[in-house]
Amino acid sequence: MLQEPDIPPQQLWEAFKHKRTSVDLYTQDATVLFVPTFVGARGNAEIRKFFLHPHFSDKSNPIKEIVFNTLMSNDRLMEESIWSVHFHTGECSWLVPGIESRYLLNATVKFPVSTSVTFVNNKIQSIRYHWDQASILKQLKVITEKLQWPVIGEQQVDAFYTINTVPLKHLHEQQKPNTPSPSHSISNQPLRGSIFGPVDSGDQVTRSVRASESNTPPARNIFTYQPPAERSSVMSYPNKLGSSFSLSHDEGVNSKQYVDQQRNNPQHPVGVAGKPTPRVTHNIIC
């Protein structure tokens, strides 16, 4: 049995980039995984089907790659690169699964990618891709600037181009977003106040402006029966506007002498049963 010639990992990796759908590149139980979305495939036959999916097609989502660093040993490879992905169809299940097409259609995202590869017997055993998913969502406006989350968008790629000049954020300069200053603290609790009270606490009077009413009825419990208080049979009404209306009997009219005089005088009739008709007095102005 002839032994297969050793293939350098670098050569095997270059073959993968030219034709990812080749079954001969992978072991029987090889795994390809996009870690941020957990989308992947296991087994060389499944990996072939995986990369044949339309979402990997250049007609749907073309990928442009720029490699910056590659570290390699006999059985491992680490690579840093920048991917630029354009969405023609508004759908990409391996990169942004579940995102609505209105965010993706004709959009382009650019982000750093770290790739970890292991080799066994001149074949690829595993491939793991890592990137910052939040950066992609921010570039697609799924994460808006209004949220002020600590997420960097496309500017992440500057760390590869200008590592010595890229602007850095120092720890002592960072502040919590939407945190009001101590002099303008905002509380979610409702503020207690008085509509007609003084604005300044120094204007508050020390005593009540309105004297308490002595005729105020005592407090009572509305859930227990209390008999009504006894009321006087004679109701007194206050003198309204200085006027009064009264029904009174003149002392001379009620006397017996006056009644007898009226009976004998036909010009002054008396009331029923010999009672004199009362005289009504109106006192409009007292």
First to last CA, the chain: 140
Supply the pLDDT for residue 1.
Answer: 47
Q: What is the 3-state secondary structure (H, E, C) of the chain?
A: CCCCCCCCHHHHHHHHHHCCCCHHHEEEEEEEEECCCCEEEECHHHHHHHHCCHHHCCCCCCEEEEEEEEEECCCEEEEEEEEEEECCCCCCCCCCCCCCHHHHCCCEEEEEEEEEEEEECCEEEEEEEECCHHHHHHHCCCCCHHHCCCCCCHHHHHHHHCCCCCCCCCHHHCCCCCCCCHHHCCCCCCCCCCCCCCCCHHHCCCCCCCCCCCCCCCCCCCCCCCCCCCCCCCCCCCCHHHCEEEECCCHHHHCHHHHHHHHHCCCCCCCHHHCCCCCEEEECCC
What residue type is 231 in one-letter code?
Answer: R
| pTM score | 0.59
Q: Judge whether 112 and 80 are in contact, CB under 8 Å.
A: yes
Per-residue pLDDT in tens (0 to 9) along the chain, 286 residues: 455 678 889 999 999 999 999 999 999 999 999 999 999 999 999 999 999 999 999 899 999 999 999 999 989 999 999 999 999 988 999 999 999 999 999 999 999 999 999 999 999 999 999 999 999 999 999 998 888 898 999 999 999 888 888 888 888 766 555 555 555 555 555 555 555 555 566 666 565 556 555 666 666 666 666 666 666 655 555 555 555 545 445 555 555 565 566 566 655 555 545 555 555 555 545 4
For the chain, give every domain's residue range. 9-167, 242-283
Q: Which fold has domain 9-167?
A: Nuclear Transport Factor 2; Chain: A, (3.10.450)
Q: Judge whether 159 and 165 are in contact, CB under 8 Å.
A: no
Supply the pLDDT for residue 179.
Answer: 54
